[in-house]
Amino acid sequence: MISLHGLTKEFPGGVRAVDALDLEIADGEFFALLGPSGCGKTTLLRTVAGLETATSGRIVIGSADVTALPPGRRDVAMVFQDYALFPHMDVTANIAYPLRVKKVGRAEREAKAAETAARLGLAELLARRPGQLSGGQQQRVALARAIACHPAAFLFDEPLSNLDARMRLEARTFLKRLQRELAVTTVFVTHDQGEALAMADRIAVMSAGRIRQVGTPSEVFQRPADTFVASFIGSTPMNLLPGVVKDGTVRVAGAVLPAPPSLADGEEVVYGLRPEYMDLSATAREDGFAGRVSVVENLGTSFLVTVEDDDHLVQAVVPEDAEPSPGDAAWAVPRHARALFYRDGRLVGG
């Protein structure tokens, strides 16, 4: 288990990269730190690893307060974005390096390195140097090095970012399966929401050094706690439109839509709906956003359709057999049960 209590990291010049964070990560959990560039995720991970000193707050790993301990005594293994392999050492020596630092005998560390390498499909490559390996193989050597020393936790900083799109997908599945098998608490940093949704048991969405929401992938996807999370999560951004509550309905860009009873008459809200939950109608609907199809993007098995009028723009994901043409009149009709309502940026209904 990893718990953070009021953890703050301030750099000289007053940049608060991590701002009074509280977080509990369960034993064996696969946990993602997700957020845009500069939100503080790498600094948070490096502070947990001991590579940065906390300005204030506490870090507890297992039952030990490690806040003041050097990295080598925290019992964590970090895998960096660039893998940080030693170019002059072969695969065996790279994997065995942390064991050598721990003064494990040569025979034992080589056996351990060979066993871990075999597990990661590297058995044929033990004598090669990093320069003779593909990006995916280098990544697996870096993972093997982390695994070989049996840490209490793994910390991964963007471990897939050096791989091409196809290898990334393979590596996702591989990493998820490996983490399941090892059942070691793992925290990984990513700015890729798809990666976080696909791999993590839970996700913390960060912005400006703070956590905006912690939840399972389906919680953050289905019920984003605020409009920042709503616009950050999802492969196509959520439709977010201003509306006003009136007589038990909400009036949004000319459409009259059902409002939850908790909202008061006259209240101003932001109406949120994922494009995946928006259907298109070719005939007029009072509960639809009227406009014309302006852009149709092919997503492979579906289309992302943009419907615009002078004062609003909404997007819908429609099945491949329903491809509309640019210029068509269209009504984008929400699946009402999926609608979310935000007041002052915070989720208040839906």
The residues binding ligand ATP (CB under 6 A) are: 11, 15, 17, 35, 37-43, 191
Least spacing, CB of residue 95 vs ligand ATP, in Å: 26
CB of 43 or CB of 67, closer to ligand ATP: 43
CB of 160 or CB of 307, closer to ligand ATP: 160
CB of 15 or CB of 26, closer to ligand ATP: 15
Q: What is the spatial distance between Cα 82 and Cα 195, in angstroms, rounded to a whole number?
A: 18
**What angle in degrees, to the nearest 10, is found between the helix axes of 106-119 and 135-148?**
130
Residue 82 exposed, middle or buried by CB count within 10 Å (0-12, 13-18, 19+) = exposed
Least spacing, CB of residue 267 vs ligand ATP, in Å: 35
CA dist list (Å): 197 to 20, 81, 119:
25, 19, 26
CB of 17 or CB of 252, closer to ligand ATP: 17
Least spacing, CB of residue 1 vs ligand ATP, in Å: 23
Least spacing, CB of residue 154 vs ligand ATP, in Å: 17
Structure-block tokens of residue 12 = 């000289």
Least spacing, CB of residue 42 vs ligand ATP, in Å: 3
Least spacing, CB of residue 45 vs ligand ATP, in Å: 8
CB of 43 or CB of 138, closer to ligand ATP: 43
CB of 41 or CB of 74, closer to ligand ATP: 41
Nearest CA to 160 out of 142, 177, 144 is that of 142
